[in-house]
Amino acid sequence: MNKKEVLEIRKQFSPENCTITRICGCYVDHEKQKILELKKAFLSMPEDEAFKYFDIFKKTLSGTIGKNLMNMEFPLDQEKPGGTQDFLLKLRDSRLEDEMIVEEFYDKVIENYIYAENYYIILIHAAYDIPGKASDNMEMFDASDEVYEHIMCSICPVNLSKAGLSYNAATNSIEDRIRDWIVDAPAKGFLFPAFQDRSSDIHNILYYSKKPEELQPDFIEHVLGSTIPLTAKDQQETFHAIVSDTLGEECDYEVVRNIHDDLTELIEEHKEAPEPLELSRPDVKRLFEKSGVPDERMESFDRDYEEIIGEKNSLLASNIVNTKTFQIETPDVIVKVNPERSDLVETKLIDGRKCLVIAIDDHLEVNGIEIVK
């Protein structure tokens, strides 16, 4: 799913656009015991309560594609009868009205979701009547020919509110505040099937993680049945490894700076596109060649890429480069440079020592003090 497709589904989480038919919930304590279960028609819920659920659902579809929101494909063996895709299809097709399959889902989550405190599993079913679009991209609500029927799960930590003092209007006094168990914003979640090309895609699932580096591998493998994706940090480290292996002893400052600059330029050119910029093996190869990697070092590139990243795997450009800063680090010094002016820093051999040289035009400050000489 891309940004536009995610936003189209998020728009449904409002009173005027609501397509949710049913909501189920299970409150689980720190001992993995089911404390409370909820099941009802969503539209029967009080308005104030519904608004709070809308906020949770919107946050389950928030963040950056490729970091917080990850598109994952089912392996072929999981699409066979008895696989996780088959189970999730049955859950969706039941419209959450089959108590046995909903209970089985809760049990799968509780068994595989690693969390030491209390949490709340929320599961919804929705049916979105997809409006057609005219040639000018305007929605035609009377021209729908498909209903996107889907389920979404949000897993929210439940924490005790902080201790403190509060004002009691009835007694006109300041007193100890009653501590409540509060349902926090979701930490994990998923949308199934994915909404691709404004249509249902049962071969893919959209996974949400509030913290991109904490993916819950057991949950992904056993509940969703998908291949665990590389995190943003893993992608960055993998890219650094392929740069180091390819350049070897030719890994100098100028080439690394060129790679950073060229990547930043690619991202800037692609920023209006709905799809995140993915770099496949040929894309990375062209990037290296453009950035000045010597021809003799490119001879082993294909082999190195396949060994480190994998022949068919790609990297998200936004995950492997920081477009907001260009950082140079030694054991004792860290220099951060505006990426648009990385040309101000160069390396030179001075009195037999390799040095960083920073061009100064008309302004220099040290600890907030302007230097005049």
Query: Which two three-digit tokens encode residue 369?
Result: 């003090």
Give Cβ neighbours of residue 57 (< 8 Å, ≥ 6 apart): 10, 13, 124, 152, 154
CA distances from 44 to 4, 16, 20, 25, 127 (A): 30, 15, 11, 15, 16
Q: Helix (H, G, I), strand (E, B), or coil: what is residue 351?
A: coil
Query: What's the burial of 186, exposed, middle or buried (CB within 10 Å: 0-12/13-18/19+)?
Result: buried
Decide if 83 contacts 74 (C-beta within 8 A). yes
Distance between CA 247 and CA 288 in Å, rounded? 10
At 49 the pLDDT is: 94
369 C-beta neighbours (distance < 10 Å), count: 8
Q: Which residues are paired to 127 by β-bridges?
A: 149
Per-residue pLDDT of the chain (373 residues; tens, 9 = 90+): 999 999 999 999 999 999 999 999 999 999 999 999 999 999 999 999 999 999 999 999 999 888 899 999 998 889 999 999 999 999 999 999 999 999 999 999 999 999 999 999 999 999 999 987 765 556 665 656 789 999 999 999 999 988 899 898 999 999 998 889 999 999 999 999 999 999 999 999 999 999 988 999 999 999 999 887 788 888 899 899 888 888 887 788 888 889 999 998 898 888 888 788 889 888 999 998 898 888 888 888 888 888 888 766 788 888 888 888 888 888 888 888 888 888 888 888 899 888 888 888 778 888 888 887 6
Q: Which residues are paired to 369 by β-bridges?
A: 366
At 298 the pLDDT is: 87
Q: What is the pairing mode between strands 146-160 and 69-73? A: unpaired
At 142 the pLDDT is: 60
Distance between CA 26 and CA 175 in Å, rounded? 33
Q: Helix (H, G, I), strand (E, B), or coil: what is residue 95?
A: coil
Distance between CA 161 and CA 179 in Å, rounded? 5
Q: Helix (H, G, I), strand (E, B), or coil: what is residue 116?
A: coil
Closest alpha carbon to 83 in 225, 206, 229, 227: 225
Q: What are phi and psi of 276, to 5 degrees?
A: -65, 150
291 C-beta neighbours (distance < 10 Å), count: 18
At 137 the pLDDT is: 58
pTM for the structure as a whole: 0.83
